[in-house]
């Protein structure tokens, strides 16, 4: 029987936070021994058309990937793409999880993104039962859900929109009505324009793709939960909190230090209670929680001694044009989403400088230690480096990874994008990067360019192919191609 997701197709995407590398990184930091990535087994529940799972299967040919979804049209589209790419290590099954899941052994990583809060209670129970039964002993599950108390704010808008759209089912009028209601609300609440929470919610509703708004905000089911409530539910299925998929989300961030100190006094060493208070104070709306089996003994916080096993990279940019390593001279490095670090500590400055220069490539701990030690002429201090990396990771300024990035920072003579990216560029605008993110290639000539990155076209050949589309003088054409290639490299799209 067709589901609502067959009637209005949900636009699926790769989500970096669900990637096995992210799950393995946090498992390592919390003392677990997760499965190695190249041969990993991954199950995704509610996989839609597989846009999240297919790039993983492409990246790990020796791994095994199974996606399950009740929407027939989405699953069929995904299986068609899989066949076109010639992938044999992934299959998508059209199936309602209430009808059971195929007997397929255990999985090292189980993903359920955008699922829990949008299905009825028996399906939520079934999801957790599936995770409990299918997760390998050292496996990690990713479950995202709408969180409280911020979910109440979302609910307020949901209820106004639902009231206004009434029984209208078709996508266009339903979304028109939903947005109209929010616009009316905004116009009448001009005084609240500066109120961050309301304002950001209005912005997020207005920016949301119609199909996403249709299912996520004005869909049939909306079930936000408190963090503690979710963990109690998971606990009934033998599962416990490992971490949040975005580790920096678990940190106090911009909360006033005095308030954090008081929360710490109340919560003691109970990290769940501490996080619950932070959710209240941040008016949290969404969570992406990693779970593991309850029998595993976890430390209260990420282990600094595990950091040397990981790889680091940073998309942050130095504010000053020339790095000054002298002690006492502060340097600022700015990352995305308001993150950043300002430091006068020579070794930290050297580490940040090396990571910024390498982006989007990762650097191993040993390599970073050697290079930063050489730059600063200090004695090698591995413990100090591990602390710097964990602190900047906690602040959201750097990323840590379980394995080295598979993309390259420099544009080579014969640049290469993956077969997957080239195939996606021929079919549409959304292209998966090697960082498991998406870029939107709006211009046709950029899509054409990506399609040509097969390692057999140098700059002259690329210019010849693109010249009919770009109509530029030779020098400008070469410059435009080079700039595009640099942008693609920066986004993690080039592999050679
Ligand atoms: C909100 S979408 C999220 C899709 C994708 N995980 C994402 O985040 O982009 C929810 C998905 O769960 C699927 N789904 C809902 N109930 C299901 C069930 N009982 N069994 C299997 N799939 C289900 C829907 O068909 C839909 O594709």
Mutate to test the pocket of ligand 1, among 69, 93, 212, 217 (most ligand atoms within 8 A of CB): 69
**Residue 194: pLDDT above 70?**
no
pLDDT in the model for residue 472: 82
pLDDT in the model for residue 365: 98
Which residue has its alpha carbon closest to ligand 1 atom 9? 12
Task: Quick: pLDDT tens for 85-128.
Answer: 999 999 999 999 999 887 889 999 999 999 999 999 999 999 99
Task: For domain 4-148+224-293, say whether CATH 3.40.50.150 is its number.
Answer: yes
**Residue 186: pLDDT above 90?**
no
Q: Which two tokens stand for residue 42?
A: 């991954």
Average pLDDT over residues 144-169: 93
Average pLDDT over residues 465-487: 88
Length of the chain: 496
Mean pLDDT of the chain: 94
Task: Quick: pLDDT tens for 369-406.
Answer: 999 999 998 888 999 999 999 999 999 999 999 999 99
Q: Which residue from 487, 382, 491, 385 is spatially nearest to 435, judged by alpha carbons?
A: 491
Task: Give distance in angstroms: CA of 309 to centre of ligand 1.
Answer: 35
For the whole prediction, is pTM greater than 0.75?
yes
Radius of gyration of the chain (CA): 24
pLDDT in the model for residue 193: 56
Distance between CA atoms of 12 and 355, rounded to whole angstroms?
Answer: 31
**pLDDT > 90 fraction of the chain, expressed in percent and rounded:** 80
Which residue has its alpha carbon closest to ligand 1 atom 14? 46
pLDDT in the model for residue 327: 87
Which ligand 1 atom sits closest to the C-alpha of 13?
9
pLDDT band at 192 (very low <50, low <70, confident <90, very high): low
**Residue 191: pLDDT above 70?**
no
Task: Quick: pLDDT tens for 339-368.
Answer: 889 999 999 999 999 999 999 999 999 999
pLDDT in the model for residue 103: 81
Task: Give distance in angstroms: CA of 331 to centre of ligand 1.
Answer: 46
Task: Give distance in angstroms: CA of 414 to centre of ligand 1.
Answer: 40
**Residue 61: pLDDT above 60?**
yes
pLDDT in the model for residue 328: 87
Which ligand 1 atom sits closest to the C-alpha of 97?
20
pLDDT in the model for residue 2: 85
Domain boundaries, the chain: 4-148+224-293, 150-217, 304-387, 419-490
Task: Give distance in angstroms: CA of 115 to centre of ligand 1.
Answer: 6
pLDDT in the model for residue 52: 97
Task: Give distance in angstroms: CA of 97 to centre of ligand 1.
Answer: 10
Task: Quick: pLDDT tens for 268-323.
Answer: 989 999 999 999 999 999 999 999 999 999 998 999 999 999 999 999 999 998 88
As beta bridge partners, residue 46 has none
Note the helical H segments in 283-381.
346-358, 365-376
Average pLDDT over residues 327-333: 91
Binding pocket residue ranges, ligand 1, CB within 6 Å: 3, 5, 10, 12, 46, 48, 68-71, 74, 96-98, 113-115, 118-119, 123, 215
Task: Quick: pLDDT tens for 13-23.
Answer: 999 999 999 99
Burial of residue 256 (number of CB atoms within 10 Å: 0-12, 13-18, 19+) = exposed
């Amino acid at each position: 029987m067709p589901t609502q997701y067959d009637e209005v197709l949900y636009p699926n995407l790769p989500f970096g936070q669900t990637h096995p590398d992210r799950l393995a990184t946090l498992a390592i930091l919390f003392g677990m021994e997760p499965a190695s990535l190249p041969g990993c087994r991954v199950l995704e529940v509610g996989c839609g058309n597989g846009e999240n799972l297919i790039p993983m299967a492409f990246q790990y040919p020796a791994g095994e990937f199974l996606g399950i979804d009740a929407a027939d049209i989405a699953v069929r589209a995904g299986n068609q793409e899989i066949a076109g790419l010639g992938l044999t290590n992934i299959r998508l099954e059209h199936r309602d999880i209430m009808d059971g899941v195929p007997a397929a052994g255990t999985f090292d990583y189980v993903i359920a993104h955008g699922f829990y809060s949008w299905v009825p209670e028996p399906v939520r129970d079934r999801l957790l039962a599936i995770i409990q039964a299918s997760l390998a002993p050292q496996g990690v599950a990713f479950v995202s859900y709408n969180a409280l108390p911020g979910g109440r704010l979302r609910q307020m808008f949901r209820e106004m929109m639902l009231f206004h759209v009434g029984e209208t089912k078709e996508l266009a009028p339903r979304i028109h009505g939903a947005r109209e209601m929010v616009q009316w609300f905004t116009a009448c609440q001009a005084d609240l324009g500066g109120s961050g929470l309301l304002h950001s919610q209005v912005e997020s509703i207005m920016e949301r793709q119609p199909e996403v708004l249709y299912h996520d905000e004005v869909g049939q089911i909306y079930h936000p939960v408190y963090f503690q409530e979710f963990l109690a539910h998971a606990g009934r299925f033998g599962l416990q909190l490992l971490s949040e998929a975005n580790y920096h989300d678990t940190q106090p961030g911009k909360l006033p230090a005095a308030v954090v100190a008081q929360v710490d006094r109340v919560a003691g060493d109970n990290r769940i209670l501490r996080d619950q208070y932070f959710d209240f104070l941040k008016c949290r709306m969404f969570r992406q929680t990693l779970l593991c089996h309850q029998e595993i003994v976890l430390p209260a916080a990420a282990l600094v001694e595990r950091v040397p096993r990981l790889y680091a990279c940073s998309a942050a940019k130095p504010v000053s044009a020339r790095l000054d390593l002298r002690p006492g001279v502060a340097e600022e490095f700015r990352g995305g989403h308001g993150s950043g670090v300002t430091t006068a500590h020579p070794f930290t400055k050297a580490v940040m400088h090396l990571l910024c220069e390498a982006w989007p490539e990762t650097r191993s701990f040993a390599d970073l230690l050697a290079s930063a030690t050489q730059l600063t002429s200090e004695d090698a201090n591995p413990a100090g480096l591990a602390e710097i990396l964990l602190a900047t990771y906690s602040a959201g300024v750097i990323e840590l990874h379980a394995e080295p990035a598979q993309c390259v920072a420099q544009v080579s003579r014969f640049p290469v994008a993956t077969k997957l990216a080239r195939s996606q560029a021929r079919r549409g605008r959304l292209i998966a990067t090697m960082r498991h993110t998406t870029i939107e290639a709006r211009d046709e000539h950029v899509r054409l360019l990506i399609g040509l990155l097969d390692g057999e076209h140098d700059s002259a050949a690329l210019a010849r192919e693109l010249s009919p589309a770009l109509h530029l003088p030779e020098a400008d054409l070469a410059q435009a191609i080079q700039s595009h290639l640099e942008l693609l490299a920066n986004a993690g799209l080039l592999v050679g």
